[in-house]
Amino acid sequence: MALIDLANPTRFLALTARILPWTATATAIAFAIGLYLVWSAPDDYQQGATVKIMFIHVPNAWLAMAVWAVMSIASIGTLVWRHPLADVAAKAAAPLGAAFTFLALLTGSLWGRPMWGTYWVWDARLTSVLVLFLMYLGVMALWRTVDDPSRAGRAAAILTLVGAINLPIIKFSVDWWNTLHQPASVFRPGGPTIDPSILTPLLVMALAFLLLFATLHLAAMRNEILRRRVRTMWLMQAHAAS
Amino acid sequence: MNLGPHAAFIIAAYAVALAVVISLIAWVLADHAAQRRLLADLEARGVSRRSDKAEAA
């Protein structure tokens, strides 16, 4: 099957039906291995056992930004190439990105209270991630506001691309401003500063959450294609009745 | 396993993550079932898309 064939929603549905059991199984295996490594990992010499929160906080924080990046690429597909699946992909990703961002904020808050002495500070990293969460809600609200999916798709694509400006702000906020949040310790020049005994479970958990996103995104795209079929058939029925 | 003096924060973080992941999976499955039900209902009433008719021909 050529890549261009995926532009056909019917072929995409057939492909999704074949892929989903495999991605779901891979997700379950990755989580099983990841959680085993998490509970076998040593405590941090300064933070003690609270470092275990990092294994869910950091993957969700990475995904919060990665999902918006996926939506931005899909938005270019909508606006430039008018790819039939591009706005389906963007719309299906938004609630997932919102959930991952919510988890990053909440687990960060639960980690911050014992480590920083507070659930929340208005520093650049935390505030820019909160803005990302609000942008997810804004895009989801926009999709619900406009009835016609293609018009809603173009409007949401513009909003998504404007919102992508926030991604480098989130990434470099800890370098550009004096923040309570620590600087990058994995993706940084010079390599990770985390000991392999903690880095390995972190990367396995990140892979597990990435597979979870891939599985849920494919399933949500399939649902969106079916929703559009239902809408088309309702319109045909209404047209035939009038 | 001893989670130390901040065990409640660790357990709460994992519990919330589990709840959100289960909710996402439930939402996707329920949405799929709902769309399939609506499609089956429309097809039972004889409504079909033009592309379906073309494929059947």
Q: Give the pLDDT confidence score for residue A174 in this predicted structure.
A: 87
pLDDT digits (tens, 9 = 90+) for A89-109: 999 999 999 999 999 999 999
Stretch among A15-19, B8-12, B52-56 having the lowest mean pLDDT: B52-56
pLDDT digits (tens, 9 = 90+) for A122-170: 999 999 999 999 999 999 999 999 888 889 999 999 999 999 999 999 9
Domain boundaries, chain A: 21-40+49-178+196-235
Q: Give the pLDDT confidence score for residue A2 in this predicted structure.
A: 57
Contacts of B39 in chain A (CB under 8 A): 226, 229-230, 233
Measured on CA atoms in the order A224, A220, A86, A68, is the torsion positive or negative? positive
Q: Is the pLDDT of residue A5 over 80?
A: no
Q: Kindly give, in sequence order, each residue whose CB lies less than 8 Å from that of residue A226, ignoring residues fewer than 6 positions away.
A: B32, B35, B36, B39
Q: Is the Cβ–Cβ distance between A85 and A8 less than 8 Å?
A: no
- Tell me the nearest-neighbour CA distance from A176 into chain B, angstroms: 29
Q: Is the pLDDT of residue A181 over 60?
A: yes
Contacts of A39 in chain B (CB under 8 A): 1
Q: Give the pLDDT confidence score for residue A149 in this predicted structure.
A: 86
Q: Which residue of A has its CA nearest to B30?
A: A223
Q: Is the interface score ipTM higher than 0.85?
A: yes
Contact B12 A43 (CB under 8 A): no
Q: Give the pLDDT confidence score for residue A4 in this predicted structure.
A: 62
pLDDT digits (tens, 9 = 90+) for A199-225: 999 999 999 999 999 999 999 999 999
Neighbours of B8 (CB within 10 A): 12
Domain boundaries, chain B: 7-56
- Tell me the nearest-neighbour CA distance from B22 into chain A, angstroms: 11
Quote the pTM value: 0.92
